[in-house]
Structures are given as C-alpha cells and as structure tokens.
Amino acid sequence: MSRIDRYLLSQLLSVFAFFTLVLVAVYWVNRAARLFDAVVGDGQSFWVFLELSALTLPNVFRVVLPLSAFAAAVYVAIRMTRDNEMVVLQGTGMSYARLLRPVVVFGLIVALMLGALMHVLSPMSRAQLAERQVAIAGNISARLLRAGEFLQPTDGIVVFIRDIAEDGTLNDVFLSDSRSSGRRVDYNAKQALLVTNGGNAVLVMLDGVALAHETADSRLTTLSFDELTYDIGALIAPGGRRVDVVELPTATLLAVDAPARAALGVTLAEVRFELASRVAQPLLAVITALVGFTALFLGQFSRLGAWRQVLSAILVLIVIQLLANATAGFALRQADLAPLAFAPVLAGLVVVGAMLWWVTRRKGRA
C-alpha cells in the first residue's frame, strides 16, 4: 500500500470513528429513552435498564456502521475536493478507479467489523435480550406489588392495591377482569396474599366480594367470599416464545436439520436467507463507502457545494435498500432464492461501475 493509500485510509478511518460515535450516541439515546420508560415504568431497577441497554448495543452498531462508512466516505471526498487534494492526485496521473483502492480497503475493514457482529455478537445479544425480556415480563412481583397505582399487567385486567404491609400482606385489593366479551367481574378484598402454588403464582383474596356484570341484560351478580383464589400467574407469565432465526448463532444455522427446524419453529427458507444475509450485509458496507466516494466525482466544482452529488448518493442507497427489502420477501418464501440476498451488493457494484464509466468518459471528452 502506497503512502497516498495509507493517507486516504487514515482519513477515512478517523472520520468513520467520529461518525460512528455520534450516530451510536444519537441512536442509542433514542432507543434508551423508550426502553427506560418501559423497564423502569414496569417496576424494574435501573441496573436492569443498563443491562438491557448494553444488550441492544450490538444491534445498534450493526445498523450504524454502514451509515458511518457512507458518511465518512462523503466527508473525506468533499474535504479533499475543497482542499484541491483531489485535483493534485489526478494531476499525478492517478485515475478515478485508482483513487477507490483505499476506499475498498476501508469498506472491507468495516465489513469485517460487521461480520463479527452479524455472526457472533448480534445473535448472542438478541437471544439474551429476548430471554431477559421474557423473564421481566413474567416477574409478577415487579408488575403487581406497587401500592397506590392502577396497574394493567395485561389486556382486560386492572389491579389496584392500597397498601402493602411489611409481611407482604396486600391491603384493600381491587381486581377487574373484563377479558370475557360482554362480561366483567370486579373483585374487592380487604386483604390478599401473592403465593406460589406448584410453580404458578396465585392471588389469595380474603374477606371480599365479587361483582359480575353482564352487559347483555345489565344484570349484576354479587358474591361474598371469605377466601378466593385467583390464578394471576397464568395471565401475566408469557408462554413459550417462538425463537427468531436472527437469535441463532451461525454454527447452529449451519448444523440445523429438518427436525431441529421444526422444533425451533423456523423454515428452511428463513435459515438459508439468514445465512446469506450474514455474508451479504457486511459487503454492503463496501458498497455504501464506494457509492458515497464515487458520487462526488459526478459533478463539477460549484460554489453551492456538493449537495447534488450527496443527494444522488443517498437516492442510490435508498433504491438499493428497497431492492434488498423486495428480494427478502421472495427469498423468505422459497429456500432456493436465498442467493437473492446478494442482489443489492451486485446492484451497488453495477452503479459504482456506471459512475466510474461516466466520469471517465466525460474526462476523455474534456
């Protein structure tokens, strides 16, 4: 690698690091705000929020790295054009294609980072995040044992507890069950206990009354009780969840057979497309860097800046993303179409090649 290549590569990597930090901070703060409301508002501790936030970071980097590569390529190209460095390099006989060599190396470095995320870190973090969310959703104490608040742990269930004694006794409990269509049952108890029976959480209400209201005929039925057991755990604790294919490590995807796919609840098309995507998506980082850098060659010098070239590059990336979404729909329905995951990469290479042909042809005419 020549000194010029090392210079361009160092410029790209330094700007890339800056944009990555900025975009990750912006993206993570946006996600963390919603996560904070959901987790802390659900009665969890601040440490749980930090744990879940950390588990979202690999996916944040997976989204941000291609954008940072594009932004770094555009910024360096604009700065070199503004400082006349591009003119000097071209004056030495360096072609447009030769200028792209350090950009390709830069894109491959970003692709290696994305490959590590796609194959190792992202599946692990997603699986762990899903497990923690299931555990949190099933935490009855955190979701119910809050005094002085009307809580809705699930659709159709409203719970209010006036006070919680030091021994765990719930005082003045109100529970409304309107899950059944046309019927609502309200339970009022002076005291209640949240106990575990056979691994399932039940609410034992003492000295209370149950009011059943039938909507159809406006009939109200009243039932007094000394002790009533209500299965609260079955309402809140989630059932077995379907494993998402993105949570499976690459080694598992390569070794999975038909019985294992049936047990996991995934199809052959999903497995094949996910494997192809984990190779194709890192390569898109190379495409985004090349598109961003090459697009700056298209226009002549203008005092208004290079906004037209940048806008053109953004439109190209939007079209490539739309192509990726369209091909994913076909590939997820038919296993033999998994190679369509590489269609956006090939389309990007065609666009970069067309850009280089255009600027070379224009320079030849000049």
Provide the 3-class DSSP secondary structure of residue 166.
Answer: coil
Predicted local distance difference test score (pLDDT) of residue 2: 80
What confidence score (pLDDT) does residue 301 get? 47
Contact yes or no for 344/321 (Cβ under 8 A) = yes
Low-confidence ranges of the chain (pLDDT < 70): 1, 37-45, 134-145, 196-200, 233-242, 299-305, 362-366
Task: Give me the pLDDT at residue 16, please.
Answer: 95
How do the residues of the chain divide into helix, strand and coil, expressed in percent and rounded to 5? 65, 15, 20
Torsion sign across C-alpha atoms 57, 63, 69, 75: negative
CA-angle at 102, arms to 100 and 105, nearest 5°: 110
What pLDDT was estimated at residue 300? 54
The pLDDT of residue 364: 59
Confirm if 261 and 274 have CB atoms less than 8 A apart: no
CA dihedral 328, 331, 337, 338 (to 10 degrees): 70
pLDDT at 112: 94
pTM given for the model: 0.71
CB 133 within 8 A of CB 49: no
Decide the pairing of beta strands 183-197 and 200-214. antiparallel
Q: Find the radius of gyration of the CA atoms of the chain.
A: 29
Of 223, 337, 221, residue with least CA distance to 270: 337
How many residues belong to the chain? 366
Ordered strands of the 183-197 beta sheet = 150-154, 157-164, 170-177, 183-197, 200-214, 219-230
**DSSP of 1-60:** --HHHHHHHHHHHHHHHHHHHHHHHHHHHHHHHHHHHHHHTTT--HHHHHHHHHHHHHHH
User: Six-digit token pair at 230?
Assistant: 């209500």
Give residue 290's pLDDT.
Answer: 92
> Under 8 Å CB-to-CB from 309, ≥6 apart: which residues?
295, 296, 298, 299
Ranges of H-type helices in 83-121: 85-91, 96-99, 101-116
Q: Which 3 state secondary structure label does DSSP give 134?
A: helix
